Amino acid sequence: METPANVCVIGGGRIGLPISVSLAKRGMNVKLLDIDENRCKAVNESKSPFYEPEMQEALEFSVKEGYLSATTDPSCVAKCEVIISAIGTGITNSGEPDIESIRNLSEMISPHLKSGSLLILKTTLPIGSTRKIAENIAQNSGFVLELDLFVAFSPERIVEGKAMEELRSLPKIVGGVGPKSTKIASKFMGGFGGKVVQVSSSETAEMCKLIDNAYRMTRFGFSSDVALVASQNGINAYEAIKASNLDYERNNIPLPSVGVSGYCLTKDPHYLEASGGGIWEKRGFNSTWINARKSADYQLEHAIEEIGESLTGVSGKIIVIAGLTYKENVDDIRESHGIYLSKRFLELDAEVRSWEPNLPIGRDLHIENFHDESCLDGADGVIFTVPHKEFIEWRDDPKGVESMRNGLIFDGWGIIQEEKMPNEIVVKGTGKGI
């Protein structure tokens, strides 16, 4: 395949839109296909629906120069040599993979494919899904895999806040349903920048995506359990872990936190677990990464319990959730532990406020949001869920704590400096000791 002039990216979310903008900035004609009419309208007006460094300027250039446009019409696929699927997937309430959003992909694109089309899946999938999708598309379109239809999986590994930068720099893993698909997809993916790593199959590439986040989850779960043991023994987990890591190259232990959340860390361990088939039942216990996921989730309930004990119950109390986004300095609340905490405290009949500087005041949330420490006025307790830069700055001059009714601070990230707090303020937290 020659360098394609026309590319269709399906899904205009936090993966699909940065990919679209990056390709358009390189001079390719990009059609962004999304079911959300409002999102398409925003993109066509050069308005990014979310914040990502570098992206707004690149979006404005791409739309102005005519390289990028968004549509809800799947017939745009007919004009494209390359189709990239960035459709989001999820998990059910029971933790099973939910790929319903991608089941219609074949029906959507098959009537519009041309001979020689390349489909690259970036959607997180259970192992083996790419091949099944490819075979279904081949059957529906009449094209033959590895002859006039090429399909590969290339996991997206970028993180929010660095998406545009990492699209240029991170290694690109590519595995096709056959060697020709791998070769053609690798050539295309190499255009983004960064090293291309070819693997033997689409299944291997799918597994690479899942083990990335399952491994990270395992490490975070380990730290969560260390925090629990430290608390039970009156030890500061942050001090112990930092001392263990210092100048000891065999250790790289993460610091604990009150929550490990977000779209991928919540979902991917379950996808890898599901790909194990019946092996877990056969051996009698789950994978390390699923147990790690449970360990991290338990920290949330542990925090709720500690706050309740400190305040002699939370019913009727005013609780401030400092941080609704899933990580620091972003505006994404998908699968956020801050959102989870806010809803749990509401269930316990508390009055809940949020202190979230990265979300607009007028955003439709289930609780009132503040951008500064005025949220502490009359509050009984505040729980810091993420280390936003505004919270790091606040800890050095903790204004507003004197206006709290009951001065409880629960430090979920080890960011609070207790010596700078007034004597009447009680500081507890994840791994802080009892």
Q: What is the pLDDT of residues 5-55, one digit of tens each?
A: 899 999 999 999 999 999 999 999 999 999 999 999 999 999 999 999 999
- Fold agreement between 6-200 and 235-434: yes
**Using an 8 Å Cβ cutoff, are 378 and 404 in contact?**
yes
- C-alpha distance from residue 317 to each of 132, 351, 380, 426 (Å): 53, 6, 6, 16
* Dihedral pair phi/psi, residue 311, rounded to 5°: -100, 10
Is it the case that residue 84 has pLDDT exceeding 60? Answer: yes
Residue 365 banded pLDDT, cuts 50, 70, 90: confident
**9 bridge partner residues:** 32, 84
Assigned CATH topology for domain 6-200: Rossmann fold (3.40.50)
pLDDT at 383 over 80: yes
Residue 275 has pLDDT above 80, yes or no: yes
Strands 82-85 and 68-71: unpaired
Residue 268: its pLDDT value, please? 95
Please give the share of the chain, as a percent, with pLDDT higher than 70. 98
Q: Report yes or no: 81 and 114 within 8 Å, Cβ to Cβ.
A: yes
What angle, 0 to 180 degrees and rounded to 10, lies between the N-to-C axes of helices 129-141 and 202-232? 150
**Residue 2 reports pLDDT greater than 70:** no
pLDDT of residue 178: 98
- pLDDT (mean) for 88-111: 89
Domain boundaries, the chain: 6-200, 235-434
Most confident stretch, 34-43, 101-110, 260-269: 34-43
SS (H, E, C) 183-236: HHHHHHHHHHCCCEEECCCHHHHHHHHHHHHHHHHHHHHHHHHHHHHHHHCCCC
Residue 1 has pLDDT above 60, yes or no: no
The one-character DSSP state at 256 is: P
Q: How far is the CA of 331 from the CAs of 169, 213, 240, in angstroms?
A: 23, 21, 32
Question: For residue 265, what are the CA distances in angstroms to 3, 240, 411?
Answer: 34, 25, 22
Average pLDDT, rounded, for the chain: 94
Query: Looking at residues 265-279, what average pLDDT do you find?
Result: 93
Q: What is the pLDDT of residue 423?
A: 85
**Residue 193 pLDDT > 90:** yes
Reported as a pLDDT band with limits 50, 70 and 90, residue 3 is: low
Residue 4 banded pLDDT, cuts 50, 70, 90: low
What pLDDT score was predicted for residue 432?
86
Distances, alpha carbon 368 to alpha carbons 48, 97, 175, 364, in Å? 25, 33, 46, 9
CB atoms within 10 A of CB 63: 19
The upper half-sphere exposure of residue 372, i.e. CA atoms within 13 Å in the direction of its Cβ, equals: 4
In Å, what is the CA distance from 176 to each residue of 10, 20, 172, 204, 254? 19, 21, 13, 9, 34
For the residues 189-194, what does the mean pLDDT come to? 94
CA–CA distance, 238 with 431 (Å, rounded to integer): 7
Superfamily for 235-434? NAD(P)-binding Rossmann-like Domain (3.40.50.720)
Mean predicted confidence (pLDDT) in 292-311: 96
Q: Which of 387, 383, 366, 385 is nearest to 375 (CA)?
A: 383
- Cα separation, 318 vs 351, in Å, equals 5
What is the C-alpha radius of gyration for the chain, rounded to an integer number of angstroms? Answer: 24
328-338: average pLDDT:
93
Is residue 227 a contact partner of residue 283, using CB atoms and an 8 Å limit?
no
Q: Is the pLDDT of residue 434 over 80?
A: no
Say what the pLDDT of residue 418 is.
85
Largest CA distance in the chain: 75
Q: Where does residue 105 rank: exposed (0-12), middle (13-18), buried (19+ CB within 10 A)?
A: buried
**How many residues appear in the chain?**
434
**More confident: 420 or 207:** 207
